[in-house]
Homo-oligomer: A and B are copies of this chain.
């Protein structure tokens, strides 16, 4: 059973794979990145190479774990956390640990090995987001789970171990540190001003204008003022909403359209960079024992969004040791380049 461990000095959690017998040579020879569909466990006909599916869309014959699907969700074969067991929290001297209850799933976004997000239709991307929404809603029913983090690693330098287009989710028994920080900031802002800090951000950035990368009817794409990476971008729904699970089918279609447009511009500017996409949305609605009022204003104070993080600069010693990023590209420049790029791969 893996463990979540807390370090009281750095105030950081780690998920430690305690049961694994370490073999040093595994780290010494990194696997080469292969782009061939041969041997890929996410192809049609390879359904037995993954654990049995949790969800599939688009299959006509209703026979699970067979070809014909358009999106398929399976448990991760090497899960960081496991769904079986009872949650236990305990102290170990000055440390804390929680056993590794949770979930780790893979969303196979398309049967097509080479269909990057920028290559797919808005309808195909809508289907991927529908799978995100459905898994989020389903896992929230589990009282042990406090948060479901949906994310995508594209390319080796962004942490992808398989090239076939896929996203993942990790559901944790503790709300992750980065999310807690955002939730606290949003709640405090509401407590003082009765306004959503993200709505304030959108309002301000529309007025400034120079960090707006793209805008559609219902979405705005901003380059954050203190971006950690060149071309880091936040995708926000313009209308206030705390929860991605409440997004309508129409909104998810528009999200597919704008993400496709954006990633085509990125491909044009940065030549298909490795990247991460991360969804930040409201936590599971289960109150903590003794804190039934903890998230009472969340509907008003929080605002879901997707972070796009291109991995074209490194997190080196300074960044790790300080918590500061060094970003060589002003977000105002990145926004201008994105506005001027076109989504069909041609300069305007």
A: residues with CB less than 8 A from B are 4-18, 20-22, 24-25, 27-28, 80, 92-95, 149, 151-153, 157-160, 168, 170, 172, 176-179, 181-182, 185-186, 197-198, 200-201, 204, 208, 224-228, 230, 269-271, 273, 276-280, 307, 309, 312-331, 333-334, 337
Residues of B within 8 A of A176 (CB): 321-324
Residues of B within 8 A of A204 (CB): 93-94
* Complex Cα gap A314–B31 (Å): 13
* Chain B residue with the shortest CB-CB distance to A200: B94
Contacts known (A316-B158, A318-B170, A334-B22); A198 close to B326, Cβ less than 8 A: no
Contact B22 A330 (CB under 8 A): yes
Cβ of A252 to closest chain B Cβ, rounded Å: 20
* Complex Cα gap A181–B11 (Å): 8
* Complex Cα gap A297–B284 (Å): 41
Q: Which of B9, B228, B318, B323 contacts A197 (CB 8 A)?
A: B9
Residues of B within 8 A of A27 (CB): 230, 270-271, 273, 312-313
Residues of B within 8 A of A230 (CB): 22, 27
Contact B321 A226 (CB under 8 A): no
* Complex Cα gap A328–B21 (Å): 9
Contact B16 A149 (CB under 8 A): no
Contact B226 A322 (CB under 8 A): no
Contacts known (A277-B317, A317-B158); A330 close to B9, Cβ less than 8 A: no
* Complex Cα gap A341–B295 (Å): 50
Contacts known (A152-B317, A318-B168, A322-B176); A14 close to B159, Cβ less than 8 A: no
* Complex Cα gap A20–B325 (Å): 16
Q: Which of B14, B168, B317, B324 contacts A14 (CB 8 A)?
A: B324
Cβ of A238 to closest chain B Cβ, rounded Å: 16
* Chain B residue with the shortest CB-CB distance to A15: B326
Cβ of A182 to closest chain B Cβ, rounded Å: 6
Contact A28 B280 (CB under 8 A): no
Contact B321 A16 (CB under 8 A): no
* Chain B residue with the shortest CB-CB distance to A4: B324
Residues of B within 8 A of A273 (CB): 27-28
Most buried by B among A157, A279, A330: A330
Q: Which of B10, B21, B225, B323 contacts A5 (CB 8 A)?
A: B225
* Complex Cα gap A280–B280 (Å): 31
Residues of B within 8 A of A94 (CB): 197, 200-201, 204
* Complex Cα gap A302–B9 (Å): 11
* Complex Cα gap A92–B201 (Å): 12
* Chain B residue with the shortest CB-CB distance to A160: B316
Contacts known (A11-B181, A22-B329, A228-B14); A208 close to B307, Cβ less than 8 A: no
Cβ of A314 to closest chain B Cβ, rounded Å: 4
